[in-house]
Amino acid sequence: MTDQLRLRCFPDQPPAHLPYGFQGHLYRGKVYPPFIEGLATDTLARVWQTNGQDTLICSHQKVGTHLVKRFLVELLAAVGGFSPSHPCHSRDLGHGAVPWPEVLYSQSGPGGWEDHLQTLGEGPRLWYTHCCFEDLPLQRIHPHTRFILVYRDPKDVVVSQYFFYRRHPLLGVNPDLTLEAFVDLFLAGALYFGDYHHHVLGWLGQRGQAIAADRFLVLRYEDLVLDKLRSVDRIARFMVPGLSLNEASRDQIAHRTEFDVMKAELTRHPQSFHFRPENYFRSGRTHDWENHLSPALAASIDQKTRDLWAAVLDP
């Protein structure tokens, strides 16, 4: 397994002119990575209609996306939610099972997109996306489609993004980029997919509006790490109303979502997972920012968090 799947980049797109060597393009005023094609995203916005079996994880980068994927796959597998032909039946978390729609369409085109839908059949369809709500490439949202918003302490997000971006082989980030400079970009909303704080608020504002309240679940990364059994129960009630998991199933899901367990299994049996976990699963802890951010940097992030989230979220 290479550092990642062989992803095509699209050099003909208008460059984003980011500092520090970042590769990418502007899409609707936000920076997108080079392996997503703007034309593909526009096409999805015209043709993609969700159905009642769809669940979308709506997250910014490095906030626990793969962890939520693991919770969902393990839960649905435990209750017999996947047919033997479903790609998640084997507990695959990769792009072949739980894809990023913009990447799937960019890399595989309409034929690959249709092939994936045919493979899923009538079973559950799990997706994830990093875009903000207003850029969601959908022609129509089915009223029964489920959305899961996951968020994380912004201080941990910026640290995790910093190390991830520097290691990513396609992003072209200058290795001399300092954490201090990266925090400045983060606070300015100048990184991929736009401002993190506004991204979360934008999705949260759709609960009870564009998305029915009972079809919208908000998860905090810290709870997924530190309070696993309660997280299992919350996700189970959301995905399968009225479901009561037995203790053994709850314990197994909690165990299989432990960071070291996930990392070891994906290293040993990656299936269609697209990164080497030993390179990109770095910490998996909460409060890792304390090991990296100066008091001044932490205070600057906390100030923005208080200003924007204090009335609606527990950071």
Q: Is residue 270 part of a domain?
A: yes
Q: Which CATH number is 138's domain given?
A: 3.40.50.300
102: containing domain? 25-309
How many domains does the chain contain in total? 1
Q: Is residue 248 part of a domain?
A: yes
Report, as ranges of residue numbers, the positions in the chain whose pLDDT lies below 70.
1-5, 277-280, 315
Q: What pLDDT, on a 0 to 100 scale, did the predictor assign at position 6? A: 75
Q: What pLDDT, on a 0 to 100 scale, did the predictor assign at position 187? A: 97
SS3 for 275? Answer: strand
Q: Is residue 132 part of a domain?
A: yes
Q: What pLDDT, on a 0 to 100 scale, did the predictor assign at position 315? A: 67
Q: Which amino acid is at 190?
A: A
Q: Is residue 15 part of a domain?
A: no
Q: What pLDDT, on a 0 to 100 scale, did the predictor assign at position 2? A: 43
Q: Is residue 109 part of a domain?
A: yes
Q: Is residue 31 part of a domain?
A: yes
Question: Alpha helix (H) ranges present in the chain?
Answer: 38-47, 65-78, 101-120, 154-167, 179-187, 196-204, 221-226, 228-239, 247-256, 259-268, 277-280, 295-309
Q: What pLDDT, on a 0 to 100 scale, did the predictor assign at position 34? A: 94
Q: What is the pTM of this model?
A: 0.94
Q: What pLDDT, on a 0 to 100 scale, did the predictor assign at position 1? A: 38
